[in-house]
Structure 1
Amino acid sequence: MKRSAALKDLEGRLGHRFDRPELLTRALTHGSMSGPTREDNQRLEFLGDRVLGLVMAEALLERDPDAAEGQLAPRYNALVRKETCAEVARDCAIGDAMKLGRSERLSGGRRKMALLGDAMEAVIAAVYVDAGFEVAKDMILRLWGDRVDRVEEDARDAKTALQEWAQARGLPPPSYTETGREGPDHQPVFTIEVRIRTGESDSAQAPSKRQAEQAAASALLGRLEGGA
């Protein structure tokens, strides 16, 4: 398959030259441009989300071997959430190469967070299929850069972010309930459930109530935004 100048430029920014450039083309094709002879990027997006998740889970475990699950969860969600994928996509100028239908182009689709995030995940899958996990992993860690190192700061106040999400939709603040406590007094593990008015909820465990609340808020926010 002959490469366009746009694809060559994007390959340079990604740091990967495709053996099968049609994979990159598919990863950049939004559903508004799909057809009988042109596949869109939805299946690749599904796969790329899982590849990204594994890479980030490994990276977080390696960087902090002593962290509890309740500490790792909000960091993980901050790294794989759609907003972060869209930020990385903007850094790589993926929007410039996306293939969009006329309505999406006219409505600013190249700048939309959801479309950019989906395309970034699809590109990850395209690299994975083209060259394998290690190449995809190297690209992800390179493109995410210092986000992995500063993720604790970025993920620290998930409760505020969830409250802002709810308020933006005319909902009251989320409620937090302690649903369990295990372990000795000097080393307790708290289980906290967070719930919003529309019924969606999630829960998390951590050594303190505050950490568990943050982890639960981050987990629920990740699901809400992932389904947005």
Structure 2
Amino acid sequence: MALKRPTGEALAQEISARVGYIFKDLRLLETALTHSSAVKATTNNERLEFLGDRVLGLIVADMLLQLFPEAREGEIAPRFNALVDARTCSNIGLQLELDQFMRADAALKSRTRKAGGNYLADAVEALVAAIYLDGGIEAARAFVHRNWEPLARLAVEKPANPKGELQEWVARSSDARPVYAIQKREGPDHEPVFTVSLQVNGFAPAHGSGSSRRAAEEAAASEFLVREGVWTVEKGAA
């Protein structure tokens, strides 16, 4: 791909090859791939992301009911939560190589390129909305099924709750409680990175980083649980 980001018909062709949908209104596509941090942008994908989150949720919920007709709500809910999770959307965005076509702050894209980042998850949801507005619910459904259905049968475990499990584990043997403290906050306001320390009496401190205080605390709790052998490395990385 050329170093210069394609626009117009060239952008539409690149995206069509990846998502399997041809846009009629190219403005919708441009907006879906424009982050609020983009320099000189007159519009961004925040409103589309808001709509896409709801469209994605509806289609994924309907898809799961069809795939698992005998499953109870308690079995379907964890699959649903995992499929619409920001990390899942971000990974799909990376697989579609949307990071190559995003209009966003260069530092933001560079810092989150390997992990995808929330900006890419938002773009995927905005793209769902753009397809829905441009081609209707069936076009959006086809896109979602193509990219989310292969993951549906894999998302079988309840999403990890590291802070809750740590609290329960500590309570079994003592009256101590985990204490979290913010060590530093870096990055711009639209994409901050928090670093948190975790202290439990009688144990070495653990640390974690994330795009929010909660995410950083969960990362620190995961590190602690893996280090103390409560969790496996695989679960801690989930």
Gap change, CA 1:54 and 1:10, over 3 Å in 2: same
TM-score after normalising by structure 2: 0.63
Q: Which amino acid aligns with 2:38?
A: M
Counterpart-to-counterpart distance in 2, 1:174 and 1:60: 32
1:90 correspondence with 2:94 = yes
The count of corresponding residues between Structure 1 and Structure 2 is 169
Counterpart-to-counterpart distance in 2, 1:69 and 1:157: 13
Counterpart-to-counterpart distance in 1, 2:154 and 2:143: 18
Structure 2 unaligned runs (5+)? 1-6, 170-177, 181-213, 219-238
Counterpart-to-counterpart distance in 1, 2:43 and 2:138: 26
Q: Which amino acid aligns with 1:162?
A: N
Counterpart residue number, 2:166: 173
Residues 2-151 of structure 1 aligned to structure 2 (within 5 Å):
3-33=8-38, 38-108=42-112, 111-151=115-155
- Indicate if the aligned counterparts of 2:93 and 2:116 stay in contact, CA closer than 8 A: no
Counterpart residue number, 1:186: none
Counterpart-to-counterpart distance in 2, 1:75 and 1:174: 24
- Indicate if the aligned counterparts of 1:110 and 1:116 stay in contact, CA closer than 8 A: no
Structure 1 unaligned runs (5+)? 177-195, 199-223
Q: Which amino acid aligns with 1:19?
A: K
The more displaced of 5-14 and 115-124 is 5-14
Pairwise CA distance, 1:106:
4.4
TM-score after normalising by structure 1: 0.66
Higher relative contact order (CA 8 A, sep 6+): 1
Gap change, CA 1:78 and 1:59, over 3 Å in 2: same
Pairwise CA distance, 1:110:
7.7
Pairwise CA distance, 1:172:
7.5
Q: CA RMSD in A?
A: 2.7
Gap change, CA 1:111 and 1:8, over 3 Å in 2: farther
Over the matched positions of the two proteins, sequence identity in percent amounts to: 33
1:162 correspondence with 2:157 = no
Q: Which amino acid aligns with 1:50?
A: R
Gap change, CA 1:80 and 1:174, over 3 Å in 2: farther
Q: Which string of whole-angstrom CA distances, capped at 9 and with x for unpartnered residues, describes residues 47-101 of structure 1?
A: 1111110011101111122211111110100111011111111111111100012
